[in-house]
Amino acid sequence: MSTVTFREALIRAMADALEEDERVFLFGEDVAAAGGSFKLTEGLLERFGPKRVRDTPISEQAIIGTAIGAAVMGLRPLAEIMFADFAAVCFDGIANEIPKYRYMTGGQVSMPITIRMCNGAGGGFGAQHSQSVENWFLNVPGLKLVVPATPADAYGLLRSAIRDPDPVLFFEHKALFNLKGELPDVPELVALGRAEVVRHGEHVTLVATQMMRHRALEAAEELAAAGVDAEVIDPRTLVPLDLETIAASVDRTGRLVVVQECPNSGSWGATLVARLVGERLEHFDAPPMLVGAVDTPIPYSGALEELWLPSVPRIVEQVKRTVSY
Partner 1 sequence: MSKASATDANVATAPVERQLDWLHTMLQIRFFEDECHRMFAQGLVRGSTHLCQGQEAVVVGACGAVSTVDKMLCTYRGHGAVIAKGAPLDRAFAEILGKADGLCGGKGGSMHLTDMTVGAVGSFAIVGGHLPIALGVALESQYNDRQEVTLCFFGDGSTNIGAFHEALNMASVWKLPVIFVCENNLYGEYSPLGTTTPIERLSTRAEAYGMPGLTIDGNDVEGVWRTVSEYAARARAGDGPVLIEALTYRQKGHSRSDPAKYRPSGELEAWLERDPITLLEAKLERLGVDRGRLDDMRSAAEHEVLDALERARSWDDPSPEQLEEDVYA
- Cβ pair 117, 83 in contact under 8 A: yes
Q: Looking at this protein, which amino acid is placed at residue 230?
A: A
| Residues whose CB is less than 8 angstroms from the CB of residue 10 and which lie 6 or more positions away in sequence, other chains included | 40, 116, 154, 155, 158, 172
Among 15, 89, 191, 243, binds ligand TPP (CB under 6 A): 89
Torsion of CA 121, 15, 143, 310, to 10 degrees: -20
Residue 146's closest CA among 175, 128, 167? 167
Largest CA distance in the chain: 60
Using the rule CB under 8 A, is 284 a contact of a copy of itself? yes
- Cβ pair 115, 153 in contact under 8 A: no
Among 6, 25, 48, 86, binds ligand TPP (CB under 6 A): 86
- What is the nearest approach in angstroms of ligand TPP to the Cβ of residue 88? 8
Using the rule CB under 6 A, is 305 a contact of ligand TPP? no
Is the sign of the CA dihedral 89, 90, 96, 99 positive or negative?
negative
Using the rule CB under 6 A, is 164 a contact of ligand TPP? no
Among 82, 98, 212, 228, binds ligand TPP (CB under 6 A): 82
- Cβ pair 54, 97 in contact under 8 A: no
From the list partner 1, ligand TPP, a copy of itself, none, partner contacted by residue 310 (C-beta under 5 to 8 A by kind): none
- What is the nearest approach in angstroms of partner 1 to the Cβ of residue 128? 6
Stretch of 81-89, 219-227, 252-260, 279-287 contacting ligand TPP, by CB under 6 A: 81-89
- What is the nearest approach in angstroms of ligand TPP to the Cβ of residue 260? 25
Is the sign of the CA dihedral 92, 96, 102, 108 positive or negative?
negative
Stretch of 69-77, 175-183, 197-205, 290-298 contacting a copy of itself, by CB under 8 A: 290-298
| Residues whose CB is less than 8 angstroms from the CB of residue 82 and which lie 6 or more positions away in sequence, other chains included | 28, 29, 30, 37, 38, 117, 118
Among 35, 36, 99, 254, binds a copy of itself (CB under 8 A): 99
Site for a copy of itself, residues 68 to 87, rule: CB under 8 A: 85-86
Q: How far apart are CA 96 and CA 67, in angstroms?
A: 14
- The one-character DSSP state at 310 is P
Q: Between 16 and 60, name the residue whose CB sits nearer to ligand TPP.
A: 60
- Assess whether 283 carries a catalytic annotation: no
Residue of 129, 173, 203, 214 marked active site? 129
Q: Between 56 and 271, name the residue whose CB sits nearer to partner 1.
A: 56
The residues that touch ligand TPP, with contacts defined as CB under 6 A, are 29, 58, 60, 82, 86, 89
The residues that touch a copy of itself, with contacts defined as CB under 8 A, are 85-86, 88-89, 91-92, 95-96, 99-100, 103-104, 126-128, 135-142, 239, 262-271, 273-275, 277-281, 284, 286-290, 295-297, 299-300
